[in-house]
């Protein structure tokens, strides 16, 4: 697997990203449009579209891993990705509250990996509902950086978006990059239903009324 792109300096001014965002590129055979990663609205049923952010994020991780292993995209088409989404759903299966914890995502991915003969291990950093019990921003950033340093996306669950308007509450997204800015702000670059967005991690961590968590991966 290729090394992630990272700035030489550490701390302020540091930026680490996945080595090749093109591994998320999917071509719609009907319209010819290329999009980044999957969209939960591609599921066929109302329930799957409503609750499918966790399985879609898990499928994004598997897409990137599959393509990065070969260093040449093997999964290129939207229809192929949808078939993969439905295979992942059998293991990362939302309940009444969706996939509303890191433990549920990890359990589902472990089941998928076992069924497919895939080497994929996970670690979680949970964020408490009570703000006083949350880890400091630097600790959260280090956890995310540790995942991206393996050139694998990091999955992010936020149960409330707080003052961060780029996030949708009760939602999983795919983290593709981390930026530590000169003024001390920490931003994460995310992929959410085919959209590349930038999120102020500290703003979310300090303002969200509920917690969530992060899952990073290794082979």
Residue in 64, 54, 58, 55 with CA at minimum distance from that of residue 26: 64
The whole-number pLDDT of residue 9 equals 39
Number of structural domains, the chain?
1
Predicted confidence (pLDDT) per residue in 14-63, tens digit: 899 999 999 999 998 777 789 999 999 999 999 999 999 999 999 999 99
> Which CATH number is 83's domain given?
3.90.70.130
Tokens representing 99 are: 């996939």
Domain extent at residue 173: 5-218
Instruction: Please tell me the pTM assigned to this model.
Output: 0.93
- Provide the sign of the torsion angle of the four alpha carbons 82, 109, 23, 159, taken in this order: positive
Rounded CA separation 9/46 (Å)? 47
Predicted confidence (pLDDT) per residue in 61-103, tens digit: 999 999 988 766 777 899 999 999 999 999 999 999 999 999 9
Residues in Cβ contact with 114 at an 8 Å cutoff, skipping those fewer than 6 apart: none
């Amino acid at each position: 697997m290729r090394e992630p792109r990272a700035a030489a300096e550490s701390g302020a001014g540091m930026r680490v990203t996945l080595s090749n965002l093109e591994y998320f590129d999917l071509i719609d055979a009907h319209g010819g449009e290329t999009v980044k990663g999957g969209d939960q609205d591609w599921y066929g049923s109302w329930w799957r579209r409503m609750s499918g952010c966790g399985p879609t994020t898990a499928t994004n991780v598997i897409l990137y891993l599959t393509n990065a292993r070969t260093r040449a995209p093997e999964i290129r088409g939207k229809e192929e990705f949808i078939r993969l989404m439905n295979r992942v759903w059998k293991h990362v299966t939302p309940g009444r509250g969706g996939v509303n914890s890191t433990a549920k995502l990890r359990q589902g991915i472990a089941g998928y990996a076992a069924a497919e003969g895939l080497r994929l291990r996970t670690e979680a950093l949970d964020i408490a509902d009570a703000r006083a019990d949350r880890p400091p921003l630097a600790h959260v950033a280090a956890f995310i950086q540790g995942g991206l340093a393996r050139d694998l996306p990091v999955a992010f669950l936020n149960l409330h978006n707080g003052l961060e308007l780029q996030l949708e509450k009760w939602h999983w997204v795919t983290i593709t990059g981390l930026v530590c800015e000169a003024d001390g702000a920490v931003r994460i670059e995310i992929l959410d239903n085919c959209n590349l967005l930038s999120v102020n991690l500290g703003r979310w961590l300090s303002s969200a009324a509920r917690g969530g968590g992060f899952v990073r991966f290794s082979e």
